[in-house]
Structure 1
Amino acid sequence: MSTYKYDYLIVGSGLFGAVYAYMAKQKGKKCLVIDRRSHTGGNIYCENVNGINVHKYGAHIFHTNDKGIWDFVNQFVEFNRYTNSPIANFKGELFNLPFNMNTFYQLWKVKTPEEARAKIAEQVKELGLSEPQNLEEQALSMVGGDIYQKLIKGYTEKQWGRAATDLPSFIIKRLPLRFTYDNNYFNDKYQGIPIGGYNKLTEGLLEGIEVKTACDFFEDRAYWSSLAEMTVYTGKIDEFYDYRFGELNYRSLDFEHAILEIENYQGNAVVNYTEREVPYTRIIEHKHFEFGTQPTTVITKEYPSEYALGKEPYYPINDEGNTELFRKYSALAVKEEKVIFGGRLAEYRYYDMHQVIGSALKSARETIV
């Protein structure tokens, strides 16, 4: 008979932790979920403002080709038919994203795929870049000067806080060019937004499970660890090991939210600002995720920033140095007999929502006995 109060302590109530807790409960396990924030849900948390579900930590648009994952999330909340079709604003000119026939018409007035391909090929040939040495050269060799200068360069430099010539070429492994008049950003078969916001998904996953918020695992890790036979850790892997090999690098984000006394600010959920001189990368108008008709609206300007302790780590910088550093931490993690690591921070990788759910389901199936 176990002397522990819980079978699992789950550190972090984001998607990985919430899915793992749900799966453990289905197997009859007793779980305690703790989170250092004052709410559950991690970065998918929504705050209701004037009846609008505001994506507090940036836009989250669910998309997947995996029917099993789609069916899994739809157990907890119904998803609407939202289709991501962002707009790019470059010095007041508007372009459709992703790069498609609408974009090419807006750039060059070409009307057929043949004309568009020829225009891109002509620009690429003029540049003569046979062996790209950095992100700028890689992008230019794929899409030519016009698309790069108007829709990639400024946005990318803001995102990474560095000149495109100082960024490695592998960051842009591929730039999808679509020679159809289709503004659907994702190719995935299933996409949408939970009706009523992402909190309904989190609440459904954590229903009947004990949860404590505003609890920092590291303030008394010995106590928290003593409560359960196993710990599922979804935080930063370098923090778990007291940064013994050094800190992993991230990019962070700052958000500027505003309530506007108008019904409709920009007519689209996502508008990217691709010129370098505009300090934010995009403006989100949250009501459009759920086709809202409220008399007011809420917008969020998203500013990329350098990560520092105390800020939220959003995007891992998976360059050679960080990858090698993560390998050292990962080598320690695989030796742990009482700790399961999972999620974007513990695995030091960028995850879309369906990917982190898939990772949590796989981990749960392999480790819950």
Structure 2
Amino acid sequence: MKEKYDYLIVGAGLFGATFAHLASTRHRRCLVIDKRNHIGGNIYCQQDNGINIHRYGAHIFHTSDKRIWDFVNSMVPFNRYTNSPVAVAPNGELYNLPFNMNTFYKIWGVKSPSEALQKLNEQRCEAIKKMEADGVKEPRNLEEQALTLIGRDVYELLIKGYTEKQWGRKCSDLPAFIIRRLPVRLTFDNNYFSDTYQGIPIGGYNKLVEKLLEGSDIQLDTDFFKDREHLSSLAHKIVFTGKIDEFFNYRFGMLEYRSVRFETETINNPNVQGCAVVNYTSSDVPYTRIIEHKHFESFGDSVYENPVSVISREYPAEWNPGIEPFYPVNDQRNNSLNTRYQELAQKEPNVIFGGRLAEYRYYDMAPVIAKVFSLFESDTNL
């Protein structure tokens, strides 16, 4: 009989693949399974007319941790992509994101940081005074929080409609903590991220995940829950990256998510919108953004070397069992429920839970890798 694997890794996404790589460097044997027909989880790229399509939404790698940046570049070189999205507002005008001097000039005509700050402070103060008049000391919801951070003009143009589409709820019904911070820059800088490093793997994310999974056995189209007992018997330990409530058979009830539906179209035009990401902030437009995928890896005149382009419209949707869960709904009810599931997880000595679904939290890519690093650094027996 073949000797057992050291680890059964449930999920071939970034957490599972990184864990498999680090385990392999310690000469551990890993079997990686995934219920989908591909590796990579939500960072999987699908080719269309020579363009890498981010099938589950745009993923831009960014970090200020040099160790993490050096690690991913040791797997595959990254390009110089800089995330500089624009937004189409309800008035039909285009505005730069994140909120910066280009944005404020377009909205108010201000030309200096001091003018912009004065306008911002005026509107912030108006929001705070209104709350105080109502006997409110702290923002009670996302709308009040946003108004105290950025003021009414920017909120109405660029936040309200987009956020309500994204979450399927009015901003006045969403918790304030969702928007505790807003990137506000008093410079003419359209770089969305403030991290030291950012980019896209040259050739797409599949190359990164393929490299991470070298040395591991992979089994796709395999649903852990359809053959749980047998699959669990194949390894000494399990690394679980799926939904934590499902792992425990929904003992306390189901956690809630928001989902996304993608409408992808190939267009006989080499340059449709001029950048990778365009947000649509009007509540009258059913999608939140359009992604033009070639701009993640083609720059300048090279965009025109391919005569076609591929775009994806992203439509937010309520999550129901059977469709892909994307964003945890981190309100009081779901966070309390997740706490109970995490307490159960701590009582499973032979199971390691990690990633967006297993921890029920939104993760950028670099922190996912950092989390796996920390696991191996804290336990030399892994």
**TM-score range, shorter-chain basis?**
over 0.9
CA distance, structure 1, for counterparts of residue 376 and residue 347 of structure 2:
18
Please state how far the C-alpha of 1:368 moved relative to its aligned partner.
5.4
Which residue of the partner structure matches residue 294 of structure 2? 287
Post-superposition CA distance 1:221-257 (Å, at most 9, x none) = 0000000011111100000000010001111111000
CA distance, structure 2, for counterparts of residue 134 and residue 366 of structure 1:
38
Q: Which runs of 5+ in 2 are unaligned?
A: none
Corresponding residue SS for 2:155? helix
Could you say if the C-alpha distance between residues 155 and 193 of structure 1 is closer, same or farther in structure 2, counting changes exceeding 3 Å? same
Which residue of the partner structure matches residue 95 of structure 1? 95
Please state how far the C-alpha of 1:364 moved relative to its aligned partner.
3.0
Corresponding residue SS for 1:346? helix
CA distance, structure 2, for counterparts of residue 275 and residue 312 of structure 1:
25
Please state how far the C-alpha of 1:328 moved relative to its aligned partner.
1.0
Which residue of the partner structure matches residue 309 of structure 1? 321
Give runs of aligned pairs for residues 263-302 of structure 1, distance below 5 A. Answer: 263-291=270-298, 292=303, 293-302=305-314
CA distance, structure 1, for counterparts of residue 119 and residue 22 of structure 2:
52
Please state how far the C-alpha of 1:324 moved relative to its aligned partner.
1.1
Which residue of the partner structure matches residue 337 of structure 2? 325
CA distance, structure 2, for counterparts of residue 342 and residue 141 of structure 1:
35
Please state how far the C-alpha of 1:170 moved relative to its aligned partner.
1.3
For structure 1, which segment, 300-309 or 114-123, has the greater mean C-alpha deviation from structure 2 after superposition?
114-123
Please state how far the C-alpha of 1:367 moved relative to its aligned partner.
4.2
Corresponding residue SS for 2:359? coil
Post-superposition CA distance 1:285-342 (Å, at most 9, x none) = 0000001431100000001111111111111111111111111111111111211111
Q: RMSD of the alignment, in Å? A: 1.2
Which residue of the partner structure matches residue 228 of structure 1? 235
CA distance, structure 2, for counterparts of residue 365 and residue 336 of structure 1:
20
CA distance, structure 2, for counterparts of residue 215 and residue 123 of structure 1:
54
Q: Which runs of 5+ in 1 are unaligned?
A: none
Which residue of the partner structure matches residue 42 of structure 1? 41
Q: Tell me the TM-score normalised to structure 2 length.
A: 0.94
Q: Tell me the TM-score normalised to structure 1 length.
A: 0.97
172, 185, 191: which one pairs with 1:178? Answer: 185
Which residue of the partner structure matches residue 28 of structure 1? 27
For structure 1, which segment, 180-189 or 117-126, has the greater mean C-alpha deviation from structure 2 after superposition?
117-126
CA distance, structure 1, for counterparts of residue 148 and residue 49 of structure 2:
47
Which residue of the partner structure matches residue 108 of structure 2? 108
CA distance, structure 2, for counterparts of residue 9 and residue 359 of structure 1:
18
CA distance, structure 1, for counterparts of residue 6 and residue 121 of structure 2:
60
Which residue of the partner structure matches residue 365 of structure 1? 377
Which residue of the partner structure matches residue 257 of structure 2? 250
For structure 1, which segment, 124-133 or 138-147, has the greater mean C-alpha deviation from structure 2 after superposition?
124-133
Corresponding residue SS for 1:154? helix
Q: Which letter does structure 1 place at the counterpart of 2:219?
A: K
Corresponding residue SS for 2:291? strand
Match status 1:338 vs 2:345: no
Q: Which letter does structure 2 place at the counterpart of 1:185?
A: Y
CA distance, structure 2, for counterparts of residue 214 and residue 147 of structure 1:
46
Match status 1:118 vs 2:118: yes
